[in-house]
C-alpha cells in the first residue's frame, strides 16, 4: 500500500481512525443483543454484505466482532488493534498513528461525534440506520453554522477550557 505524504497523511489518518471508531459505535449501537448475562454482537448477513460493498475496509471489524461476546474493554482493545494492523506502518508511517490518538483534532472529532449521538439518540434509535446514513446525518450536523462556530471555538481553546456545546435541535 502506498504511503501518504506527511501533511496530508496526518489529516487523512485522523479521518480514517475516526471513521473506524464511528463505525464501531454504530455497530454496537444497533447490533448488540443480550443473551443471558452476556452482550453479543450480531450483525445480520445482509448488513455485513452492504458494509462489504460500501466500506470494504471496515468489513474486517464486523468479522472480528460478529457473533462474539463484547464488553467495553474488549471493544476498545480490538478497535485499537484493528487500527494498528490496518494503518500503522502500512498506510501511514509508524509515527503518525500514535500522534493521531494524542492529537487535539482527533479528540475534538470524537467529542463532536459523541455529542452528536447524545443529541440525536432518540432519533437514531427510531430505526436501524445504515452507517452511510449516520455519516451523512453527522456531516450535515457539522455543516450547521452554529456547529461550525463551536468547532472553531474548540480548535482555538486552550487545554481545560469549557465551551458550551451548540444547542441546535434540528435533526440532520
Q: What is the pLDDT of residues 54-102, one digit of tens each?
A: 999 999 999 999 999 998 888 889 999 999 999 988 899 888 989 998 8
Flag whether pLDDT at 115 surpasses 90: yes
139 part of a folded domain: yes
Range of the domain at 150: 6-156
162 part of a folded domain: no
Give mean pLDDT, residues 138-155.
Answer: 91
**Averaged pLDDT of the chain:** 87
Q: Is the torsion defined by CA of 15, 142, 167, 118 positive or negative? A: negative
pLDDT at 170: 40
HEC letters along the chain: CCCCCHHHHHHHHHHHHHHHHHHHHHHHHHHEEEECCEEEECCCHHHHHHHHHHCHHHHHHHHHHCCCECCHHHHHHHHHHHHHHHHECCCECCCHHHHHHHCHHHHHHHHHHHHHHHHHHHHHHCCCCCHHHHHHHHHHHHCCHHHHHHHHHHHHCCCCCCCCCCCCCCCC
Q: What is the pLDDT of residues 33-43, one digit of tens each?
A: 999 999 999 99
85 part of a folded domain: yes
pLDDT at 171: 42
166 part of a folded domain: no
163 part of a folded domain: no
50 part of a folded domain: yes
110 part of a folded domain: yes
In this prediction, residue 159 has a pLDDT band, given cuts at 50, 70 and 90, of: low
The C-alpha cell 505524504 sits at: 5
33 part of a folded domain: yes
Q: How far is CA 57 from CA 80, 85, 86, in A?
A: 15, 12, 9
State the total domains in the chain.
1
pTM of the model: 0.85
Amino acid at each position: 500500500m502506498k504511503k501518504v505524504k506527511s501533511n496530508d497523511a496526518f489529516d487523512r489518518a485522523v479521518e480514517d481512525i475516526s471513521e473506524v471508531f464511528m463505525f464501531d459505535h454504530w455497530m454496537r449501537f444497533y447490533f448488540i443483543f443480550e443473551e443471558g448475562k452476556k452482550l453479543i454482537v450480531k450483525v445480520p448477513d445482509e448488513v455485513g454484505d452492504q458494509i462489504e460493498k460500501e466500506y470494504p475496509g471496515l468489513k474486517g471489524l464486523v468479522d472480528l466482532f460478529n457473533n462474539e461476546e463484547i464488553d467495553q474493554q474488549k471493544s476498545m482493545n480490538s478497535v485499537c488493534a484493528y487500527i494498528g494492523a490496518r494503518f500503522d506502518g502500512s498506510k501511514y508511517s509508524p509515527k503518525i498513528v500514535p500522534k493521531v490518538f494524542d492529537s487535539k483534532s482527533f479528540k475534538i472529532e470524537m467529542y463532536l461525534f459523541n455529542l452528536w449521538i447524545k443529541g440525536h439518540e432518540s432519533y437514531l434509535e427510531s430505526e436501524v440506520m445504515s452507517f452511510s446514513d449516520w455519516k451523512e446525518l453527522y456531516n450535515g450536523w457539522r455543516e450547521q453554522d452554529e456547529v461550525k462556530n463551536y468547532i472553531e471555538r474548540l480548535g482555538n481553546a486552550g487545554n481545560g477550557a469549557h465551551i458550551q456545546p451548540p444547542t441546535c435541535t434540528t435533526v440532520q
